[in-house]
Homo-oligomer: A and B are copies of this chain.
Amino acid sequence: MPITDSSINEPRKDYSISELEEKAKEMRAYSMIALTSAGSGHTGGSLSIMDIAAALYLKVATHDPVNPGWDGRDRIFWSAGHKAPALYVALATSGYFPVEEVMKLRKLGSGFEGHPNRLKLPGVELSSGSLGHGLGVAIGSALDSRLNNSDNHVYCIMGDGEHNEGSVWEAIMSAAHYRLDNLIAVIDKNNLQIDGPTDEIMCLSSLKNKYESFCWNVIEIDGHNMKEIVSALEKAREFKGAPTAIIAKTVKGKGVSYAENMVCYHGISPKDGCIGKESLDQALEDIGASGFTKEKVNGLLKIASDRQKEIDKKIQNKISGFSRNYWWNSTDNMKSVMESTRIGFGRAIKELGADLNTVALGCDLSDSIKISSFYKDNPERKNRFFSMGIAEANATLVASGLAKEGKLAFMGSFGVFSTGRNWEQLRTTVAYNKFNVKVTAAHGGISVGPDGATHQSLEEIALINYIPDMILTVPCDSFETERMTKALALIDGPAVIRYARESTAVVTNSDTPFKFGEALVIRYRGERENFSDAFQWHIGSQYEPEGEDVSIIACGPMVPEAMRAAWILKEEFGIDTRIINVHTIKPLDKGTIIKAAEDTNAIITCEEHQKGGFGNIIAGAVCALKDYNSPVVMDMIGVEDRFGESGQPWELLIEHGLIAENIAKKARELIEKKK
């Protein structure tokens, strides 16, 4: 049954095939406007799944937008959560909320997260975004239906690329084991994933054979032929004794000329562009949905821009409060180059790749995390770069095998996947075996931005610090990341390097002191033309105390924020600050930390991480070693035990208080406490 009035169990509206085709066009148009407004997002997959989304939500699935929690509804799980724009417009078109709301896509606080959050929007069955999760959840839901003798159906929308993930095969196996014929997986087989064509990244052929060998019923269709889609979705409901996989051949970016079959359109909006002449007008013309007049489109775009203005105002209020503005590059002097730490990793891996003994492994995010710099300008190195697909556990194990045989193996992904999803492989195979595997934990922190909570890694320090024989480093800027990567290459053994996506201040250069395993003391010396020249750096053990009032102990890009806080504290309040850059968390330079505690008696820790992951390690060092007669007050800055969300990187940093202005405020409070 289609969209249903659950109170009387009658259809609210039924659509003909041609009406569905028109609705799919409209949905594509709305998606493209929202994506363009957002300035980021997953265009390709949202367009390839759109016809299926229209058929499922408007025609085949039983659900009631007026009663989203209706027990008798079919469940639709989006395992491929990055196709959220398609989900949002499908829900809106079904009647869950006005489609105009979707224009707030990826904006701070809007609920229209980069990846869906079930707690923020009606009709969303699952907060998803990490690939390979949805089918297992759908199985749980289907088992529940069976326990309850419910005759509803459970759909799971998946990508082809995510079939790289082992958890998908675990799920496929278990669905067959339980002969879940109320479960229907719909696979949007557009043959492209982030790093390239699926066949090149991790060959899946033939997905049909694989599903059949796992004892599923399989239907193959053209995923853009509405009649075939509706027929397959309905036929699957009738099949008995096994779950059904509908493998839908689709075109990534379908309907928008410049996005069709373009690898680069996986994760960008037309605003970013990747071929140079993208426009929303072109997209809307290609799609050909009726009624999208200039006026209507401008009205929709205005909803987004108005929302952004509200956010800008709110955010601006959070960084004021001093006699002048100390924001990055907002003053005539104290200028800073901004560059993301991942760029530094890219430079290092490019250089290290010259050594024939170095290998690198990619997990389908190779450009994002800059590990592709290993071979980008040096195609002859491609035989030493191994594409592992979206399969971080296996990538970790394969890296281990290469390291075992003597290679220096770099493996990486976003931190949540390269320290979290593969945690047990890191612990038991990499660390317990002492293999020379270097793991890059990219996209650390909330500054990942609009992709939202699923992709914002905030737990790596806690995950890695307690694994024996691991090294854990969190360099403070792009240059130090480059330096640290090269330093790690010289150490035989497992190591993790955490770095970030967003551009942050470059505060070190080749003249800055650096010693692996030793923290650095940084002191503010007065305003200069360049921000970085305003500070003096010392190897921790060589620093002579100067009677500072407070210590700020930070890691990663929180170090430049701590430096900016020192500037504010001195200029506004005459307070002297000792900043400590803990670029190596494991092994920890306890001496420099204890000394800061003893000298200044007041410590603030700063981490772009769940609060305490770093801060508690510092607290442990301070508590365990300090002398009884040396009292210390302490405070911590970090993410306050909550998940992240979508928003612009700096909006999120400000929203979560991970900025100099907040550090300075806390420092003053701590100094008060000391008096």
Which residues of A are at the interface with B, using a C-beta cutoff of 8 A?
A: 117-119, 125-130, 132-133, 135-145, 147-148, 164-171, 173-174, 176-178, 202-206, 209-210, 212-215, 359, 383-384, 386, 388-389, 391, 393-394, 396-407, 409, 416-417, 420-421, 423-425, 427-429, 431-434, 453-454, 458-459, 462-463, 465-469, 601, 603, 609-610, 612-613, 615-617, 619-620, 622-624, 626, 628-636, 641-643, 673-674
Contacts and interface: CB of A to CB of B under 8 A. Distances in A.
Contacts of A176: 203
A433 B119 contact: yes
Nearest to A609: B466
A354 to B, nearest CB: 16
B612 A133 contact: no
Contacts of A398: 136-137, 139-140, 143, 171, 174
Nearest to A420: B424
Contacts of A202: 173-174, 177
Closest 9 CB pairs of A and B: A140-B401, A166-B166, A136-B397, A170-B394, A616-B620, A169-B169, A213-B213, A144-B405, A421-B424
B428 A424 contact: no
B404 A141 contact: yes
A381 to B, nearest CB: 11
A137 B389 contact: no
A434 B463 CA distance: 21
B673 A144 contact: no
A276 to B, nearest CB: 33
A400 B137 contact: yes
A648 B365 CA distance: 45
B617 A612 contact: yes
B622 A130 contact: no
A245 B51 CA distance: 41
A31 to B, nearest CB: 24
A392 to B, nearest CB: 9
A549 to B, nearest CB: 13
Contacts of A633: 626, 628
Contacts of A130: 424-425, 428-429
Contacts of A384: 147
A402 B466 contact: no
Contacts of A407: 144, 147
Contact of A425 (B167, B404, B406, B610): B167
Contacts of A462: 462-463, 465-466
Contact of A423 (B143, B204, B383, B463): B463
A627 to B, nearest CB: 8
Contacts of A409: 140
A364 to B, nearest CB: 12
B214 A210 contact: yes
Contacts of A212: 213
Contacts of A630: 631
Contact of A429 (B137, B177, B394, B601): B137
A168 to B, nearest CB: 7
Nearest to A126: B433
Contacts of A129: 428
B453 A136 contact: no
Nearest to A119: B434
10 contacts: A137-B429, A140-B401, A173-B202, A173-B389, A423-B423, A423-B463, A615-B620, A619-B619, A620-B636, A628-B633
A421 B420 contact: no
A642 B674 contact: no
A405 B425 CA distance: 32
Nearest to A200: B177
A144 B424 contact: no
Contacts of A424: 130, 416-417, 420-421, 423
B167 A166 contact: yes
A537 to B, nearest CB: 26
Contacts of A434: 119
Given A130-B424, A401-B141, A213 B203 contact: no
Nearest to A452: B432
Contacts of A406: 144
A425 B424 CA distance: 13
Contacts of A459: 427, 466-467
A428 B139 contact: no
A624 B635 contact: yes
A209 B130 CA distance: 29
A524 to B, nearest CB: 25
A138 B401 contact: yes
A427 B454 CA distance: 9
Contact of A454 (B138, B165, B391, B432): B432
Residue in A132, A173, A210, A629 whose Cβ sees the most chain B Cβ within 10 Å? A173
Contacts of A204: 173
A425 B624 contact: no
A623 B628 contact: no
Residue in A136, A139, A404 whose Cβ sees the most chain B Cβ within 10 Å? A136
Given A126-B404, A462-B462, A429 B397 contact: no
A428 B118 CA distance: 12
Given A210-B214, A423-B420, A402 B143 contact: yes
Contacts of A465: 462, 612
Given A401-B136, A466-B610, A391 B174 contact: yes
Contacts of A136: 393-394, 396-398, 400-401, 425, 429
B634 A631 contact: no
Contact of A613 (B137, B416, B466): B466
